[in-house]
Amino acid sequence: MTTAQPQPQQPKPAIPSLEENEDLEWKAKLSKLASMPEFCAAQTIFGSLCEPGTTDIGALLTSLHNASNAVNNGDLTGPESIAITQAMTLDFLFHNLLRTAMANMDTSRFEQLMRLALRAQSQSSRTLETLAALKNPVVFAKQLNVAEQQIVSNIPASKRLSRARAPSSPPALEAPREEIVRSSKSKILPRARAPVNR
């Protein structure tokens, strides 16, 4: 007879100390900060444009956060200024590339420069469309239809007015019911057959 071997006891999870709790909280804060779009933008701006020691990344992050909050509160002056400056920059780029392409008409670079110029022009137009959408947003309103019977007419308004002004024709006279019944009861005579020549 075999004896059951005792199962090894699972070690109890260690209770994190105060220092470990603070470390976990700090890592959670860092993870939350790294996922913020303002922080990512601040890192990009700071890393590509600023020399070390010339700009405070905290002040840059605060400025970006304030701009984000202004948009959330309905103030679109920031995005509107971005859109118009981008459109003007792209338009300048289009003209510059176009002049360069015209100066290199006889070379193999002409087609490449023209493509880049037309792409910049297209992006400028698209940015201006974005600006127009910011200035005049489209409103989607729900319409409550309480009519019991609705007639949809696809006739233009000018024809509808002319029809409304035209004198109405007199209603067609309907045949009395007795005549309709009488005509339906009348016998239908068979056609006379033509004589067959033999």
Check residue 155 and report its DSSP letter: S
- In this predicted structure, what is the pLDDT of residue 166? 55
- In this predicted structure, what is the pLDDT of residue 112? 93
Structural domain boundaries in the chain:
20-75, 77-136
- In this predicted structure, what is the pLDDT of residue 40? 84
Whole-number Å distance between alpha carbons of 22 and 29: 10
- In this predicted structure, what is the pLDDT of residue 167? 55
- In this predicted structure, what is the pLDDT of residue 28? 81
- In this predicted structure, what is the pLDDT of residue 35? 81
Whole-number Å distance between alpha carbons of 30 and 16: 19
- In this predicted structure, what is the pLDDT of residue 63? 87
**pLDDT means per 10 residues in the chain (198 residues)?**
59 54 75 82 76 73 88 89 93 94 90 94 94 83 62 60 55 54 54 58
Whole-number Å distance between alpha carbons of 34 and 140: 36
Closest of 67, 72, 74, 78 to residue 131, by C-alpha: 78
Whole-number Å distance between alpha carbons of 77 and 74: 9
